[in-house]
Chains A and B, each alone.
Chain A
Amino acid sequence: MQMTVDQVFPKVRAIVADVLAIDEDGIQLNSRLIGDLGAESIDFLDFIFQLEREFKIKIPRGQLEKNARGDLAEGEFEQGGQVTEKGMQALKAYLSEIPAEAFDKPLKVNEIPMLFTVETFCKLIVNAKAAEAA
């Protein structure tokens, strides 16, 4: 049976708390990892590292960005470090948990992680587990 975001959230929350050395109580599904919880770039590597161990899955580095790009070729998704209009649509569709206004302004590629929430990582686990079972 496929796992759900609600099922994986408690473990993901525990990992986020552990990685960032913060209290679990302050972590919600919609907490933005950088903006709300103070995560830095090395913490994202750490999240993936810990999630792989906890859920016994393999998450290739850059998988989130790849998922966000969907079927678009790299050149269609971004040009010169700037996410294209098509890219913004793909991003909005993939990161459906993020409020729509976050996509009003075009983003630079290196700003994409600013959007990621705890739910983004929960979905990553759910999708990886589903892919594994398929």
Chain B
Amino acid sequence: MSFLFVDRILHMEEGRFIQGIKQVTRSDSYLYCTPVGAALMPAIIGETLGQLGAWCAMQANGFTKRPVAGIVSAVHIHADAYAGDTILLNTYIDALDDAAVEYHSTALVNGNPVFTIESALGPMLPMEDFISKKAVKMQFDRIYRPGSYASLKEPLSSSSFPSLREAQRRSNDGKEENVPHSEDGFSQLEGVASFDRIVSWHPAEEVVAEKAVSLSAPYFADHFPRKPVLPLTILLQAKLSLGSQFLSHSFPDGQYFKPAAVQKVKMNAFVQPGDIVSIRLRLKEKTEDKVILSYHSESENKKVCVAEAVFVKQPAEEEL
């Protein structure tokens, strides 16, 4: 199962800008259930934008170095991207040198933003530590097919878009046929991108969970062949999943919170197969409409990742 998400690079200005697409299909991996139907996990849209920026940075340095996850000032989750959607991806490189790449990105469906990265910074590390230069160049050549987004797909008119979404919601009412489920209710890959067990639980205050990292996880084939490390986005998706469960159990009285942003993200160390990551979540702030959760992750008493997530209150009818 591939962990490469950019389907096609449409346009690139060396070391400055790159545009690509990601098709969301029913056979896609990393889907989750929503009232409208199967949607791509938000963190995977972020991963796709990050990979797009990485292609631009790697092409500019002749595939000698590759960026890895480092610091993200903020990402905003605007909307879901559903099966049938084409995500138009734009990544703007703000700075690039031997040490790091800095970029910001937008992901659009039918002209509407679904996900934006305000600013991200990734350290550049030697390519050969992670994957052979030849292999990564082949991956790039496979998807670099310049073209125009407009010629790919007739955009839906913005006025008809909401009613089409509503029709899709009605057609999926009570059905979750797009996402294969295991017996405990997780979709197969929601499980992969989730935590494994809760080790302490204090409603409305704090929760600690663990995620065990196994070499059998499907993302390790591509991330990376020579040095398997847990993708930051998988860890963030696990954090969001923990946050959703924490909030639904902490505030069960008809309040439903949905992740809207992730901010102040920093990956301090690689997490490798065999590691167990502890995820400590604390309620940082709660207002009528918004909750901020802070996360601190460690493995073997070493800090591996910190982040904050902003959840916003949803109208009752959007509850799952």
A-side residues, CB < 8 A to B, are 21, 40, 42-43, 45-46, 49, 58, 60-62
Contacts and interface: CB of A to CB of B under 8 A. Distances in A.
Interface string B97-122: 11110100000000000000001010
Nearest to B102: A49
Given A21-B306, A49-B121, A42 B99 contact: no
B306 A61 contact: no
B71 A42 contact: yes
B97 A60 contact: yes
Query: Which residue, of A40, A58, A61, has the highest number of chain B Cβ atoms within 10 A?
Result: A61
B100 A61 contact: yes
A73 B303 CA distance: 37
Contacts of B121: 45-46, 49
A60 B98 CA distance: 10
B268 interface: yes
17 contacts: A42-B70, A42-B267, A43-B268, A45-B99, A45-B100, A45-B121, A45-B123, A46-B71, A46-B121, A49-B119, A49-B121, A58-B95, A60-B97, A61-B97, A61-B98, A61-B99, A62-B99
Contacts of B76: none
Contacts of A45: 70-71, 99-100, 121, 123
Contacts of A61: 97-100
Interface string B56-75: 00000000000000110100
Contact of B71 (A21, A49, A58, A60): A49
B98 to A, nearest CB: 7
Given A21-B306, A49-B71, A49-B102, A42 B123 contact: yes
Given A40-B269, A60-B97, 16 more contacts: A21-B306, A40-B303, A42-B70, A42-B123, A42-B267, A43-B268, A45-B99, A45-B121, A45-B123, A46-B121, A49-B121, A61-B97, A61-B98, A61-B99, A62-B97, A62-B98
Contacts of B8: none
A68 B95 CA distance: 23
Contacts of B269: 40
Interface in B253-289: 266-269
Interface of B: 70-71, 73, 95, 97-100, 102, 119, 121, 123, 266-269, 303, 306
A42 B268 contact: yes
Contacts of A62: 97-99
Nearest to A40: B268
A42 B266 contact: yes
A18 to B, nearest CB: 8
B35 to A, nearest CB: 37
Contacts of A46: 71, 121, 266
A134 to B, nearest CB: 22
A61 B306 CA distance: 23
Contacts of B119: 49
When A and B form their complex, which 7 residue pairs have the shortest distance between CB atoms, in order from nearest? A61-B99, A46-B71, A61-B97, A49-B121, A42-B268, A61-B100, A40-B268
B275 to A, nearest CB: 17
Nearest to B68: A42
Contacts of A40: 268-269, 303
Nearest to A58: B95
A40 B123 CA distance: 13
Contacts of A43: 266, 268
A40 B71 CA distance: 13
Contacts of B306: 21
A58 B97 CA distance: 13
Contacts of A49: 71, 73, 102, 119, 121
A46 to B, nearest CB: 5
A16 to B, nearest CB: 14
Contacts of B98: 61-62
A73 to B, nearest CB: 18
B292 to A, nearest CB: 14
A40 B269 CA distance: 9
A43 B121 CA distance: 11
A54 to B, nearest CB: 12
A68 to B, nearest CB: 16
